[in-house]
Amino acid sequence: MPVHNADIAAIFEEIADRLEIEGANPFRIRAYRNAARTLGELPQEARALLEKGDDLTRLPGIGDDLAAKIKEIASTGHCSLLDRLRRELPPAVTELLQIPGLGPKRVKALYHDLDVQSVEQLQRAAREGRIRALHGFGEKTELNILQSLEAHASQARRFKLSMATQYADALCAYLQAAPGVKQVVVAGSFRRMRETVGDLDILVTAAADSPAIQRFTSYDEVAEVLSAGTTRASVILKCGMQVDLRVVAQESYGAALHYFTGSKSHNIAIRRIAQKLGLKINEYGVFHGNKHIAGEDEASVYRSIGLPYIAPELRENRGEIEAARAGRLPKLVELSDLRGDLHAHTKASDGHDSLRDMALAAQALGLEYLAITEHSRHLTIAHGLNPQQLAQQCDEIDRLNSALGGITLLKGIEVDILEDGSLDLPDAVLARLDLVIGAVHSHFDLSRKRQTERILRAMDHPHFTLLAHPSGRLISQRPPYDVDMLRIIRHAKRRGCFLELNAQPERLDLIDTHCQAAQEEGVLVSIDSDAHSTFDFANLRYGVGQARRGWLEKNNVLNTRSLAALRPLLKRTM
């Protein structure tokens, strides 16, 4: 069975959880959490890197010991350390850590004092009033736990887009190799590039005698077969993701792809238009009475009701149908439109590769320029640079630019926006740079008014160029801080600075609706990788997907411009 990065990351997270419950060394715990994040964000599969003989210690936060564990997991699907830790504590205990308000110390107390080993046992203990008697808990904590349990139970599990991609790509390649299979495509929210995915909907066209269904249900990663017929099947993968497969006739392929791509709201609106024209649209095609008149491809479905093709990323019933009817659909930005990347780190701060390696990797992707933007000194956990270190890096960039051909390194910094809105480095240092990226890395809990004014104050700084990951969210880990984003966008317009769409799969920040607001206000957005290694440039595709969901065209994106066209725009903000 293929082992994906998400599987390895899950093992490392569980190891960290168990070590934390046991009270292990915090640095050891952090090492496993950092490694899990590295694997979770890595665009290439670790097993593929191992097969090529790549040195995994090149990855951020991966030393010899962790590299050996990755190799063990990739080859066996197991980790001997985790097996040992599971023998010491019941397997379900770590699930308790997913409940808000329960840290490792409380989980440890619940296990040792009340023998709580699962979410169900925790709920029973709370309802029976046994938790409030424990030292450090109390009646209010017990009530909060009950409320958190109810919220936890109501949340359907969703997978980050990058994680879903690992499973989708491998499964599609497996199905494509089946005899008689012609087309394999993933529909649903995955195709619409939603930042999280609940399940996978896969469509296949195949010859009548193709064993596509049997091949699908016998896939090594299938944990449970929910159903299996002649044209459809549903399974649960071992990672917990449900996958539905449908084998469709070639003449219905476009209609089925449209139907199962969604969104539900978009599809309902399309069907209502069809009904007014005396047509019926379903997953089998477009019908006038009993006559099949369209559906072999998606364009024919839209054409049958007088509309041009609408890109999947736009299908949320947020004005795309009206825009299509009026001939105002955007020509969405493509990955190939990007000419550079304005946010990247090297091993000078918390990155893992050298200036030269990052430059050559960006050049290999066809980029014309790359901004090196280390963290500033305030972010000590990321080994941020002080003024002297930044000056030394600027000199190194100048030397490298004189030796490199085909790509230009820009001098920048990801400078911390402090609580009062000031920047973490003096003007004399910032004035030497090509661009200054401001970022909020602390005090996420300020009031909406204070957080907004803090950022506006930073944007007013004469050297401020670009606001990094503007909402500060980490998907499924940290909510966005409370900020008036429309006010931020309009201030960027007045100030002449820009907003970032951070393509890291953990962030994808700006969200799509804020991208659309930036476009409407005339504020350029920079799609950046926030690369911490040469592997991370591959994440730009997720940023482009988010930009497309936000209706962004090539001319709405700052870094689709040539270096010659970019420099005056950067200079305008300095």
Determine the pLDDT at residue 1: 63
Residues of the chain with pLDDT > 70: what percent? 98
Q: 265 and 366: one domain?
A: no
Q: What is the rounded CA–CA span in Å between residue 377 and residue 383? A: 7
The answer to whether residue 330 is domain-embedded is no
Q: 487 and 470: one domain?
A: yes
Token reading at 267: 């599809």
| Residue range 253-266, pLDDT digits in tens | 999 999 999 999 99
Taking alpha carbons only, the member of 102, 91, 191, 103 closest to residue 146 is: 102
Determine the pLDDT at residue 155: 63
Q: 367 and 480: one domain?
A: yes
Average pLDDT over residues 401-407: 93
133 phi/psi in degrees, rounded to 5: -80, -15
Q: 362 and 453: one domain?
A: yes
Q: 465 and 535: one domain?
A: yes
On whether the CB atoms of residues 239 and 211 are closer than 8 A, the answer is no
Domain with 207 in it: what CATH number?
Answer: 3.30.460.10
Beta-carbon contacts of 308 under 8 Å, excluding residues fewer than 6 positions away, are 302, 324, 327, 329
Average pLDDT over residues 375-399: 89
| Residue range 129-171, pLDDT digits in tens | 999 988 888 888 888 888 888 777 666 678 999 999 999 999 9
Q: 130 and 169: one domain?
A: no
Token reading at 490: 């309009």
Q: 180 and 123: one domain?
A: no
> Is pLDDT of 205 > 80?
yes
Determine the pLDDT at residue 117: 83
First-last CA distance in the chain: 54
Q: What is the rounded CA–CA span in Å between residue 416 and residue 402? A: 30
DSSP symbol at 479? P
The answer to whether residue 179 is domain-embedded is yes
Range of the domain at 514: 335-572
Domain closes at, from 211, 229, 247: 247
Instruction: Flag whether the pTM goes above 0.75.
Output: yes
| Residue range 177-186, pLDDT digits in tens | 999 999 999 9
Q: What is the rounded CA–CA span in Å between residue 522 and residue 43? A: 32
Domain with 273 in it: what CATH number?
Answer: 3.30.210.10
| Residue range 493-517, pLDDT digits in tens | 999 999 999 999 999 999 999 999 9
For residues 334 and 52, the model is more confident at 334
Which of 23-37, 337-351, 395-409, 413-427 comes out lowest in average pLDDT?
Answer: 23-37
Q: 176 and 138: one domain?
A: no
Q: 36 and 150: one domain?
A: yes
Determine the pLDDT at residue 183: 96
DSSP symbol at 501? E
- Mean of pLDDT over the chain: 92
Domain with 21 in it: what CATH number?
Answer: 1.10.150.110
The answer to whether residue 284 is domain-embedded is yes
DSSP string of 90-151, one letter each residue:
-GGGGGGGGSTT--HHHHHHHHHHH---SHHHHHHHHHTT-STTSTT--HHHHHHHHHHHHH
Beta-carbon contacts of 504 under 8 Å, excluding residues fewer than 6 positions away, are 41, 469, 529, 530, 536, 539
| Residue range 56-98, pLDDT digits in tens | 988 888 999 999 999 999 998 889 999 898 888 776 777 787 7
Taking alpha carbons only, the member of 479, 475, 497 closest to residue 488 is: 497
Q: 111 and 143: one domain?
A: yes
| Residue range 209-220, pLDDT digits in tens | 999 999 999 999
Average pLDDT over residues 555-568: 97
The answer to whether residue 495 is domain-embedded is yes
Domain with 464 in it: what CATH number?
Answer: 3.20.20.140
Average pLDDT over residues 274-289: 96
| Residue range 346-358, pLDDT digits in tens | 999 988 899 999 9
The answer to whether residue 409 is domain-embedded is yes
The answer to whether residue 307 is domain-embedded is yes
| Residue range 527-537, pLDDT digits in tens | 999 999 999 99
Q: 438 and 534: one domain?
A: yes
Domain closes at, from 275, 297, 325: 325
Token reading at 500: 């970032």
Determine the pLDDT at residue 153: 67
Q: 529 and 391: one domain?
A: yes
Q: What is the rounded CA–CA span in Å between residue 432 and residue 374? A: 15
Q: What is the rounded CA–CA span in Å between residue 329 and residue 552? A: 11
Taking alpha carbons only, the member of 224, 153, 159 closest to residue 189 is: 159
Residue 525 burial (C-beta neighbours within 10 Å; 0-12, 13-18, 19+): buried
Determine the pLDDT at residue 573: 67
What single-letter amino acid sits at 364? A
* Number of structural domains the chain divides into: 4
Residues of the chain with pLDDT > 90: what percent? 74
Domain closes at, from 290, 325, 360: 325
Q: How far is CA 313 from the centre of its chain?
A: 15
Determine the pLDDT at residue 109: 86
